[in-house]
């Protein structure tokens, strides 16, 4: 699966293309992940910044709106607490229709003072309409009765709330249709604040109403530099002021989902808007701003887009530089590849001749050296093959000598038999067999049965050499005859028994071989002179360490008896490994016993017979 994906991503093409492709992938993937992570990590920060900006703009607008409403409150407070104004108004409550000329004159002066005071009361940035209504029906305004008959205010629904207020509470009246004739054509809505006038006993003796046109707040919204949509809401979330007069009086449903002085993102007409809300002090009104979320994050997104653009520019520059440098770096590799193609076609005399101390230079130098070595090896192999051919011819010629010797011995045996000397003929036959087995190089591993025959031929020759004969008793379990062992394993032990154990005198040698469940046990024992404990211990130590010692001396000696028991142990150990065991038991004047244990599975897998 991975190989298929790799082949799709990195097609089988030049090394230069693969390096460039992988480099671009290794650059694009981290850059893409970096932008993704940057966008993910800054998403909340951008959102917080947008909320902060919206609240800051809203705070500025809120400050202007509160200042305008505070000025309206100031007028009501002034009329409520001004001593001279209160004295005059209370006196007007107590006035009667029957007055003296002096009283009428004083009343005229009082009325003039009140009217002048009301006319001097103005709001920052525009006109306000002030109305004072007394319980006895007297009213004072800073406007003419043509604009509005003050008594019409008594019929307004909100006027009933004034009598329900306690103490010096105020009633804020949200946008109502304009009552003033001159304002109606240009300002369809008005906003008012009203409060009661009370004496020392908190009894109501009058009312004061301050009214401004809704467009005064609308102008504040329009003068804001931002592109936010500002809305002033009352306690029931109805729109009091909006840049679009048609929206006044509508219910703004999203305010219910906001907590006081908070902001959040809402989907309106499949478009995300950031809505912020702040409470107006000393009222239950609140100011709300709406701005498209994309517009709120426009500056930050512009920065992000610039970062992406810079990365694209830098990536393009890097791509050109990388292409240039990669062409320079991979040029020796391309040349080496071309040389390798020519070598593949059979041109072994070409060389890359690329110099350098870097990896490519060392590789090219090694490649050239390898070609030199290959040429030399070809020359050496050619010479070796020539020598081998000559050696094979010599070997064929040398094979004539052993065969000639065997033929001569066989002829002698036949002549001896003709003369009736069977003993000598048997001796010659045993010698011929033993000599043939010694010279044969193609039978390093033989069966146990063949090894027993070697022992019989050897004992036959030895009995003819010495005056006193040695009796041999051989008992072999039938299954043990087929096990494979190195040749000349029993013969050296028998030779040691005859020469060292029996001192070439008469005696008896017993050979037993039997197969158990896991191994083959071979026992060779004689009734000779035996060994003392010290000699036996030295011999055992020699056997233990024999396979780690160099045995060149045994390889250079001639004859059968020189192979030695140590050589037997070493060869068996090399053939069967650690599973082969050999032990020697001996007592003076009682004889010697050699016990060998061979694993039933046979020789180790890495040991091969030349005959195979």
* Owner of token pair 């992406």: 308
Residue 411 CB neighbours (<10 A) = 11
Name the residue among 221, 220, 192 with its Cα closest to residue 208.
192
Out of 60-69, 255-264, 504-513, pick the least confident.
255-264
Name the residue among 60, 95, 78, 169 with its Cα closest to residue 130.
78
Q: How many structural domains comprise the chain? A: 2
Residue 123 DSSP code: B
Residue 229: which residues within 8 A CB-CB, separation 6 or more? 243, 289, 290, 291
In a domain, 200, yes or no: yes
Final residue before a domain boundary, out of 247, 278, 296: 296
- Indicate the SS3 state at residue 41: helix
In a domain, 205, yes or no: yes
- Indicate the SS3 state at residue 598: strand
Q: Could you tell me if 209 and 130 are in contact, meaning their C-beta atoms sit under 8 angstroms apart?
A: yes
Across the range 343-350, mean pLDDT stands at 82
Cα 456 to chain centroid, rounded: 76
In a domain, 395, yes or no: no
Q: Which is more confident, 563 or 558?
A: 563
Out of 9-23, 125-139, 178-192, 215-229, pick the least confident.
9-23
Residue 405 is predicted with a pLDDT of 64
How many Å apart are CA 182 and CA 191, to the nearest integer?
16
Q: Taking the chain, what is the end-to-end CA distance rounded to the nearest angstrom?
A: 46
Residue 138 DSSP code: -
Final residue before a domain boundary, out of 296, 314, 344: 296
In a domain, 57, yes or no: yes
In a domain, 382, yes or no: no
In a domain, 576, yes or no: yes
How many Å apart are CA 337 and CA 360, to the nearest integer?
12
In a domain, 479, yes or no: yes
What is the longest distance spanned by two Cα atoms in the chain?
A: 201
Q: Which domain holds residue 522?
A: 465-599
Residue 232 is predicted with a pLDDT of 93
Q: Could you tell me if 288 and 255 are in contact, meaning their C-beta atoms sit under 8 angstroms apart?
A: yes
Measured between alpha carbons, how far is residue 548 from residues 114, 392, 543 in Å?
Answer: 134, 35, 10
pLDDT in tens, 567-611: 888 888 888 888 999 999 999 988 999 999 999 866 544 444 443
Cα dihedral sign for 455, 456, 461, 463?
A: positive
Check: pTM over 0.75? Answer yes or no. Answer: no
pLDDT in tens, 87-111: 888 888 877 666 677 777 778 888 8
Q: Could you tell me if 383 and 398 are in contact, meaning their C-beta atoms sit under 8 angstroms apart?
A: no
Residue 561 has pLDDT above 50, yes or no: no
Final residue before a domain boundary, out of 261, 296, 331: 296
Structure tokens at 274: 């950031």
Across the range 484-512, mean pLDDT stands at 89
pLDDT in tens, 395-415: 545 444 565 566 667 777 677
Per the DSSP assignment, residues forming a β-bridge with 585 are: 593
CATH of the domain at 512: 3.30.565.10
Name the residue among 252, 185, 197, 189 with its Cα closest to residue 215.
189
pLDDT in tens, 351-400: 877 877 777 778 888 888 888 888 888 888 888 787 767 655 555 454 44
In a domain, 137, yes or no: yes
């Amino acid at each position: 699966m991975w190989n298929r994906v790799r082949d799709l991503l990195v097609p089988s093409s030049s090394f230069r293309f693969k390096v460039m492709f992988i480099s671009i992938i290794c650059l694009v993937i981290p850059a893409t992940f970096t932008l993704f992570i940057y966008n993910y990590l800054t998403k909340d920060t951008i959102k917080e910044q947008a909320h902060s900006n919206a609240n800051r703009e809203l705070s500025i607008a809120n400050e202007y709106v509160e200042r305008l409403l505070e000025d309206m409150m100031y007028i009501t407070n002034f009329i409520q607490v001004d001593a001279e104004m209160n004295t005059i108004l209370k006196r007007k409550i107590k006035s009667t229709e029957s007055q003296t000329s002096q009283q009428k004159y004083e009343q005229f002066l009082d009325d003039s003072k009140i009217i002048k005071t009301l006319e001097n009361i103005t709001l920052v940035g525009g006109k306000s309409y002030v109305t004072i209504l007394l319980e006895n029906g007297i009213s004072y305004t800073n406007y003419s009765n043509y604009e509005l008959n003050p008594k019409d205010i008594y019929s307004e629904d909100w006027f009933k709330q004034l009598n329900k207020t306690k103490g010096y509470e105020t009633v804020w009246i949200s946008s109502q249709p304009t009552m003033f004739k001159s304002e109606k054509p240009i300002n369809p809505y008005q906003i008012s604040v009203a409060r009661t006038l009370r004496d020392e006993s908190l009894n109501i003796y009058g009312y004061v109403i301050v009214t401004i046109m809704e467009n005064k707040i609308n102008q504040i919204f329009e003068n804001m530099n931002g592109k936010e949509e500002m809305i002033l809401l009352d306690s029931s979330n109805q729109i009091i002021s909006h840049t679009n007069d048609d929206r006044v009086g509508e219910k703004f449903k999203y305010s219910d989902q906001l907590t006081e002085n908070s902001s959040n993102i809402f989907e309106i007409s499949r478009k995300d808007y950031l809505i912020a809300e702040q409470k107006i002090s000393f009222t239950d009104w609140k100011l709300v701003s709406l701005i498209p979320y994309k517009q709120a994050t426009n500056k930050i997104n512009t920065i992000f887009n610039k970062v992406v653009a810079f990365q694209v520019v830098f990536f393009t520059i890097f791509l050109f530089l990388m292409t240039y440098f990669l062409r320079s770096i991979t040029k020796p590799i391309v040349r080496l590849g071309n040389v390798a193609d020519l070598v593949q076609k059979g041109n072994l005399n070409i060389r890359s001749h690329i110099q350098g101390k870097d990896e490519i230079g060392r590789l090219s130098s090694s490649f050239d050296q390898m070609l030199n070595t290959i040429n030399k090896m070809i020359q050496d192999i050619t010479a070796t093959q020539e020598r081998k051919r000559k050696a094979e011819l010599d070997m064929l010629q040398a094979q004539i000598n052993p065969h000639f010797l065997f033929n001569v011995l066989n002829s002698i045996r036949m002549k001896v038999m003709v003369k009736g000397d069977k003993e000598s003929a048997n001796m010659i036959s045993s010698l011929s067999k033993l000599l043939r087995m010694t010279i044969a190089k193609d039978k390093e591993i033989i069966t146990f049965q063949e090894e027993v025959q070697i022992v019989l031929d050897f004992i036959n020759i030895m009995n003819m050499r010495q005056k006193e004969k040695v009796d041999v008793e051989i008992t072999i379990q039938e299954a043990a005859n087929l096990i494979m062992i190195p040749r000349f394993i029993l013969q050296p032990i028998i030779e040691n028994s005859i020469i060292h154990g029996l001192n070439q005198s008469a005696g008896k040698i017993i050979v037993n071989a039997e197969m158990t469940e896991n191994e083959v046990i071979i026992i060779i024992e004689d009734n000779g002179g035996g060994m003392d404990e010290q000699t036996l211990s030295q011999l055992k130590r020699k056997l233990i360490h024999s396979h780690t010692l160099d045995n060149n001396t045994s390889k250079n000696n001639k004859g059968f008896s020189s192979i030695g028991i140590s050589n037997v142990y070493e060869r068996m150990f090399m053939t069967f490994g650690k599973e082969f065991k050999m032990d020697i038991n001996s007592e003076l004047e009682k004889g010697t016993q050699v016990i060998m244990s061979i694993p039933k599975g046979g020789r180790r897998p890495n040991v091969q017979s030349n005959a195979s």
